[in-house]
């Protein structure tokens, strides 16, 4: 072998994608196309008797097996994943115990990742017989008739298409026997990618200008001046244009028809070409370009440090902790600017686009035509287009939810994770169960990119990283007074007195403002005073005042866990497990309370164990109830609801948001969704209907999550010179979470929470792996969980995992999902990953490493 030949790879390690088989296999590269192979390419390879898709992960010197098959063909010359992404996939697979193939598949757009299938068709002899009107079988069975009729009617079909046409029929056996008798044929196939670029037909000038001029007068027969004018106009236009012109434009502009076009083509003056076009979902959005303001001194200080990261190539992520309205987004925008100036690209992650339209719009205004937006309402085609543009570096920025981390940018320079504490960055529903925050940190470090994690309420684990110095902690402690210009206009136009004496000097360049004051209202006292409404007297008053001033209010309802716990309406006492301190969950059908952490159970008490009151019950208030109670109180009020029900429709989030911000409603009533990103000048009152409901979920992060959502919601008020206030209704006013949220005291919350985590052995002090088994039969779910837990206990002992403990097995909090019973085991310890990696329970189990939610 000559030295030169050695540079060309001989073998490829490929992640193949076959249903239920996601494995890595070695192949050899056929001589003819060996030079064309690249890392990350999508190729077709033989697998058993089928042809399947795979992604090239590496070019090993020697294959891992003695006999290799040849790669069949390259499906797409441009790699579908970058080398950096392959490393990211490997990292995710190792850290989350997910199969590498599944992880890679999550990186390429749906539809591009078609899987192998078998195609069925009538055999040529059968086709002849049918043409002659003859029967294929003397006495066909019903299942044979069904399948044959389908193939006669629809022609060749893939297995998955037949599955859809004949649901719940075991047709494959029938197909097998028909194939053996030569009546039908089967063949493995690889379906074409279901998403393809969209093409547009355009007309291009190809002739020689002189000859074209010469023909100008004779483009139509004599006596047809209109046709002549159309053809002359078209010809002139395409001659002037360097580029081809869409046929639709020509039809539109000159009223031309296909005959006109054909004439030009026949005379050798033009040709039709197909040009790929982009489906741009944001094309209709009106964006006003904006320039960057000067940074405030606090922003300047933060920026200085981030700049160092850009210059020196920092490997540590920045944790940007700043209250809502403190100017974090402005820092992100600066960082993006810096990235683009360096010729690199940026990924900006936001919890959910529909909930953060203002953030997205700001990126688009600052960087017109450079932003690609990914969100849940895009069609696969639109998604594919954005992905393609990013892959070629034709976009500078992608803004999107957690999946945006998989954008295949050629030269990644920045990853921003906004509201980095948000649970939506974790993929809990399907495998791979990755956390986009952890992925961002790894991917940025591995790509030499800067990583900025921003939050008003960092989760305790993140804040702890900042404290220990593994991350660089940056603070923006003060709120910037926004909307001064727009509100000033309003002040001049109307005659209400908003009481803004603090901010008289509106011409000053920049003002800082206080966070809104928070009033804690004890709902037990309301009940004692005879007020049974869901609104305290104070909230009633404030709502009326706000409306009288022609301003707006938000009413927030924490739906999380509101229906499942039992608490006393007189003293606020919530029933907790005597062993675990977590709330007991009501299982109303069994009249029982259960601890889902340790399995403790007791009956539902008739009276409060603490104060003896009979008014102990479980709770559940919906937005609809709040709305009708509000209308009873203030008959003229114009309301909008923002919850799961009102946002099912496409575009609903934007609509609600637009209506409320243009003041077509006075009060917005909503759940968790409205905690994010809203920045509205006229909102001067935020009412939290019941602050403590989320506190009682049996999850070690229940307190943290409640603190976060309360802080976020409170942050919606008082963002303009009009000021604002928050009313927080609770049955548990002394709880440290309520106290800390009311005082905007993150530090206090953090200290208390950290202490509790240390005492009870939770993250950041220990790591958790959650293992879940599902089964239609509750007994067998319980049994499987028991068997594995017993084995785990043995390994913990024999392999010296000293500080590692099991919690459970117990039924999961939502003990039954889609007809299947869920049992779970939590493994807590300094390094449970090492234990489970060696003793994985198998593909039947759901394994989650450090999940943010353990319900």
Residues 586-645, interacting with Zn ion (CB under 5 A): 595, 597-598, 600, 608, 610-611, 613
Task: Please say which residue, 419 or 732, places its beta carbon nearer to ligand ADP.
Answer: 419
Which of Zn ion, ligand ADP, none is residue 611 near (CB under 5 to 8 Å by kind)? Answer: Zn ion
Which of ligand ADP, Zn ion, none is residue 600 near (CB under 5 to 8 Å by kind)? Answer: Zn ion
CB of 606 to Zn ion, least distance (A): 12
Is 552 in contact with 684 (CB distance < 8 Å)? yes
Provide φ and ψ at 806, rounded to 5°. Answer: -105, 140
Our finding on whether 241 is near Zn ion (CB under 5 A) is no
Is 33 in contact with 109 (CB distance < 8 Å)? no
Of 92, 306, 571, 769, the residue at the interface with Zn ion (CB under 5 A) is 571
Pattern of binders to Zn ion over 645-664, x per CB under 5 A? --------------------
CB of 65 to ligand ADP, least distance (A): 54
Task: Please say which residue, 312 or 485, places its beta carbon nearer to ligand ADP.
Answer: 485
Our finding on whether 712 is near ligand ADP (CB under 6 A) is no
Neighbours of 780 (CB within 10 A): 13
Our finding on whether 480 is near ligand ADP (CB under 6 A) is yes
- In Å, how far are 622, 642, 718 from 648, measured between CA atoms? 17, 10, 30
Of 154, 579, 650, 840, the residue at the interface with Zn ion (CB under 5 A) is 579
- In Å, how far are 182, 183, 434, 824 from 130, measured between CA atoms? 14, 11, 54, 57
Of 577, 619, 773, 846, the residue at the interface with Zn ion (CB under 5 A) is 577
Which of ligand ADP, Zn ion, none is residue 322 near (CB under 5 to 8 Å by kind)? Answer: ligand ADP
CB of 79 to ligand ADP, least distance (A): 35
Residues 323-352, interacting with ligand ADP (CB under 6 A): 324-330
Size of the site for Zn ion (CB under 5 A): 15
Query: Which residues have a Cβ under 8 Å from the Cβ of 797 and sit 6 or more positions away?
Result: none
C-alpha radius of gyration, the chain, whole number: 32
By CB under 5 A, which span of 77-85, 208-216, 448-456, 577-585 interacts with Zn ion? Answer: 577-585
CB of 293 to ligand ADP, least distance (A): 4
Query: The tokens 């209109």 sit on which residue?
Result: 226
- Long-range pairs for 580-584: beta carbons < 8 A, 24 or more residues apart: 580/698, 581/760, 582/698, 582/699, 582/700, 582/702, 583/695, 583/696, 583/697, 583/698, 583/702, 584/698
Task: Please say which residue, 377 or 508, places its beta carbon nearer to ligand ADP.
Answer: 508
Of 84, 317, 322, 733, the residue at the interface with ligand ADP (CB under 6 A) is 322
Task: Please say which residue, 39 or 511, places its beta carbon nearer to ligand ADP.
Answer: 511
Is 69 in contact with 28 (CB distance < 8 Å)? yes
- In Å, how far are 234, 417, 495, 519 from 667, measured between CA atoms? 56, 31, 22, 19
- In Å, how far are 321, 363, 554, 612 from 458, measured between CA atoms? 7, 23, 24, 39
Which of ligand ADP, Zn ion, none is residue 326 near (CB under 5 to 8 Å by kind)? Answer: ligand ADP
Tell me the two tokens of residue 57: 């992960």
Task: Please say which residue, 201 or 579, places its beta carbon nearer to Zn ion.
Answer: 579
Dihedral over Cα of 59, 65, 67, 71: its sign: negative
Read out DSSP for 137-170? SSS--HHHHHHHHHHHHH-SEEHHHHHHHSTT--
- Long-range pairs for 588-595: beta carbons < 8 A, 24 or more residues apart: 588/618, 593/566, 594/811, 595/698, 595/810
CB of 327 to ligand ADP, least distance (A): 4
Query: Which residues have a Cβ under 8 Å from the Cβ of 759 and sit 6 or more positions away?
Result: none
Q: How many whole angstroms separate alpha carbon 373 and alpha carbon 384?
A: 12
Our finding on whether 455 is near ligand ADP (CB under 6 A) is no
Task: Please say which residue, 365 or 613, places its beta carbon nearer to ligand ADP.
Answer: 365
Residues 738-757, interacting with ligand ADP (CB under 6 A): none
Residues 236-275, interacting with ligand ADP (CB under 6 A): none
CB of 619 to Zn ion, least distance (A): 14
CB of 752 to Zn ion, least distance (A): 21
Provide φ and ψ at 197, rounded to 5°. Answer: -60, 150
Query: Which residues have a Cβ under 8 Å from the Cβ of 21 and sit 6 or more positions away?
Result: 47
Which of Zn ion, ligand ADP, none is residue 544 near (CB under 5 to 8 Å by kind)? Answer: none
Our finding on whether 709 is near ligand ADP (CB under 6 A) is no
Task: Please say which residue, 309 or 811, places its beta carbon nearer to Zn ion.
Answer: 811
By CB under 6 A, which span of 164-172, 246-254, 295-303, 340-348 interacts with ligand ADP? Answer: 295-303
CB of 296 to ligand ADP, least distance (A): 5
Our finding on whether 609 is near ligand ADP (CB under 6 A) is no
Cα–Cα–Cα angle for 488, 492, 498, nearest 5°?
70
Half-sphere exposure of 296 (CA within 13 A, CB side): 20
Task: Please say which residue, 293 or 343, places its beta carbon nearer to ligand ADP.
Answer: 293
Our finding on whether 805 is near Zn ion (CB under 5 A) is no
Residues 646-705, interacting with ligand ADP (CB under 6 A): none
Task: Please say which residue, 225 or 297, places its beta carbon nearer to ligand ADP.
Answer: 297
Which of ligand ADP, Zn ion, none is residue 580 near (CB under 5 to 8 Å by kind)? Answer: Zn ion
Task: Please say which residue, 325 or 852, places its beta carbon nearer to ligand ADP.
Answer: 325
Q: Name the CA dihedral angle for 618, 624, 627, 633, rounded to a multiple of 10 degrees.
A: -60
Size of the site for ligand ADP (CB under 6 A): 16
Which of Zn ion, ligand ADP, none is residue 295 near (CB under 5 to 8 Å by kind)? Answer: ligand ADP
Our finding on whether 760 is near Zn ion (CB under 5 A) is no
By CB under 6 A, which span of 27-35, 321-329, 433-441, 500-508 interacts with ligand ADP? Answer: 321-329
Of 82, 202, 234, 296, the residue at the interface with ligand ADP (CB under 6 A) is 296
Using DSSP's 3-state secondary structure scheme, residue 849 falls into strand
Residues 494-533, interacting with ligand ADP (CB under 6 A): 510
Tell me the two tokens of residue 556: 């927030």
Query: The tokens 């399995």 sit on which residue?
Result: 599
Is 197 in contact with 388 (CB distance < 8 Å)? yes
The b-or-e profile of 795-820 (16+ CB within 10 A means b, else e) is ebeeeebeebebbbbbbbbebeeeee
CB of 452 to ligand ADP, least distance (A): 12
Query: Which residues are at the interface with ligand ADP (CB under 6 A)?
Result: 293-296, 299, 322, 324-330, 480, 482, 510
Query: Which residues are at the interface with Zn ion (CB under 5 A)?
Result: 568, 570-571, 573, 577, 579-580, 595, 597-598, 600, 608, 610-611, 613
């Amino acid at each position: 072998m000559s030295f030169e030949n050695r540079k060309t790879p001989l073998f490829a390690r490929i992640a193949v994608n076959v249903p239920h088989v996601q494995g890595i296999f070695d192949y050899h590269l056929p001589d003819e196309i060996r030079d064309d192979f690249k890392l990350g390419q999508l190729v077709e390879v033989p697998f058993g008797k089928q042809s399947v898709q795979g992604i090239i992960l590496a070019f090993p010197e020697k294959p891992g097996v003695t006999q290799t098959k040849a790669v069949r063909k390259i499906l797409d010359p441009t790699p579908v994943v970058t080398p950096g992404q392959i490393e990211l996939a490997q990292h995710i697979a190792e850290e989350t115990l997910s199969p590498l193939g599944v992880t890679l598949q999550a990186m390429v757009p749906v539809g591009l990742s078609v899987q192998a299938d078998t195609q069925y068709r009538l055999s040529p002899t059968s086709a002849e017989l049918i043409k002659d009107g003859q029967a294929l079988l003397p006495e066909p069975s019903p299942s044979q008739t069904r399948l044959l009729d389908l193939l006669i009617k629809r022609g060749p079909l893939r297995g998955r298409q037949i599955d859809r046409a004949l649901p719940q029929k075991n047709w494959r056996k029938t197909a097998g026997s028909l194939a053996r008798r030569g009546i039908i044929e089967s063949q493995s196939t690889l379906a074409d990618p279901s998403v393809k670029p969209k093409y547009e037909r355009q007309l291009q000038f190809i002739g020689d200008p002189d000859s074209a001029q010469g023909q100008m007068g004779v483009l139509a027969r004599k006596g047809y001046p209109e046709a002549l004018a159309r053809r002359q106009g078209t010809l002139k236009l395409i001659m002037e244009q360097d580029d081809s012109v869409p046929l639709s434009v020509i039809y539109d502009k000159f009223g031309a028809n296909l005959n006109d076009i054909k004439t030009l083509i026949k005379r050798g003056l033009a040709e039709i070409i197909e040009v790929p076009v982009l489906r741009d979902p944001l094309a209709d959005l009106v964006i006003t370009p904006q320039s960057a303001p000067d940074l405030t001194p606090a922003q300047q200080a933060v920026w200085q440090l981030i700049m160092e990261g850009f210059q020196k190539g920092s490997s540590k992520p920045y944790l940007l902790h700043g209250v809502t309205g403190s100017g974090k987004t402005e820092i992100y925008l600066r960082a993006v600017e810096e990235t683009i100036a360096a010729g690199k690209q940026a990924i900006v992650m936001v919890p959910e686009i529909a909930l953060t339209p203002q953030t997205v719009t700001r990126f688009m205004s600052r960087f017109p035509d450079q932003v690609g937006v990914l969100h849940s309402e895009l069609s696969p085609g639109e998604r594919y287009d954005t992905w393609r543009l990013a892959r070629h570096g034709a976009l500078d920025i992608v803004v999107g939810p957690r999946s945006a981390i998989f954008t295949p940018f050629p030269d990644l320079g920045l990853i921003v994770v906004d509201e980095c504490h948000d649970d939506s960055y974790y993929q809990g529903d399907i495998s791979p169960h990755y956390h986009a925050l952890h992925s961002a940190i790894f991917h940025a470090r591995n790509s030499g990119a800067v990583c900025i994690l921003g939050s008003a309420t960092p989760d305790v684990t993140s804040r702890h990283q900042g404290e220990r110095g593994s991350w660089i902690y940056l603070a923006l402690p003060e709120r910037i007074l926004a909307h001064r210009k727009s509100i000033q206009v309003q002040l001049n136009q109307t005659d209400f007195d908003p009481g803004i004496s603090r901010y008289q000097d509106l011409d000053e360049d920049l003002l800082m403002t206080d966070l809104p004051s928070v009033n804690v209202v004890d709902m037990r006292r309301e009940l004692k005073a005879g007020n049974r409404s869901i609104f305290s007297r104070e909230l009633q008053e404030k709502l009326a005042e706000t409306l009288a001033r022609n301003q707006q209010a938000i009413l927030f309802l924490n739906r999380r866990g509101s229906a499942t716990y039992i608490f006393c309406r007189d003293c606020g006492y919530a029933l907790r497990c005597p062993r675990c301190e977590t709330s007991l969950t009501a299982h109303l059908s069994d009249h029982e309370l259960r601890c889902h952490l340790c399995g403790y159970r007791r009956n539902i008490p008739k009276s409060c164990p603490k104060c003896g009151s009979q008014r102990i019950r479980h709770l559940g208030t919906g937005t609809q109830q709040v709305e009708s109670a509000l209308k009873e109180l203030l008959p003229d009020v114009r309301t909008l609801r923002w919850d799961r029900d009102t946002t099912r429709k496409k575009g609903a989030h934007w609509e609600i948001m637009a209506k409320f911000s243009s003041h077509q409603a006075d009060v917005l009533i909503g759940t968790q969704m409205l905690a994010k990103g809203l920045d509205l000048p006229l909102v001067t009152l935020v009412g939290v209907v019941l602050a403590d409901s989320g506190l009682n979920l049996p999850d070690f992060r229940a307190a943290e999550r409640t603190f976060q959502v309360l802080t976020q919601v409170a942050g919606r008020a008082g963002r303009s010179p009009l000021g604002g206030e928050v009313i927080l209704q609770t049955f548990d006013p002394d709880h440290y979470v309520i106290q800390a949220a009311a005082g905007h005291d993150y530090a206090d919350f953090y200290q208390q929470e950290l202490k509790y985590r240390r005492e009870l052995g939770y993250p950041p002090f220990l790591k958790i792996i959650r293992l879940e088994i599902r089964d239609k039969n509750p007994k067998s779910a319980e049994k499987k969980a028991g068997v594995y837990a017993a084995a785990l206990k043995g390994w913990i002992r024999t392999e010296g995992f000293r500080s590692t403990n099991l919690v459970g097995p117990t039924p999961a909090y939502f003990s039954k999902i889609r007809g299947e019973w869920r049992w779970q085991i939590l493994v807590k310890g300094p390094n449970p990953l090492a234990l489970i990696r060696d003793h994985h329970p198998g593909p039947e189990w759901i394994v989650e490493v450090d999940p943010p939610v353990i319900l």
